[in-house]
Structure 1
């Protein structure tokens, strides 16, 4: 698990968003594969493109989970000092 730390006052909080991003990324890859195998988008004319987009989005969530966590943390106010200057700590 990773933590985020406010660089202004030193307040630290667990960043459990990373777990959910990895879970969503895995679900995206599995869901895209399932949609292709189950012919879920058959008849649309864009079935392959849709399934590849779903799977690529899942892989991107898995690959960039730390960057996404940092981006989300920068939009979160520190409960101690009210600042938004966060640092991701592994």
Structure 2
């Protein structure tokens, strides 16, 4: 099943930025998925089993070197938010 998973990684360390960037660099090596990032989260696209396996592998790496919280949301299909406009109130 194709899926989209949105994740946010919160390293519990002062050097959180380098942990997040290393996580993304490692995630980029996963050939079975694609992803895009923004200032708040990362959206991962691919087969659900491949996404969860890849995120699990990378999350285990983070936990080996320190502690972190991983928050995720999952939905079916390829959910992108490009081209949508917010309504002015």
- Provide TM-score, normalisation by structure 2: 0.33
User: Which one has a larger percent helix, Structure 1 or Structure 2?
Assistant: 1
Q: Name the one with the larger strand percent.
A: 2
Higher relative contact order structure (alpha carbons within 8 Å, sequence separation ≥ 6): 2
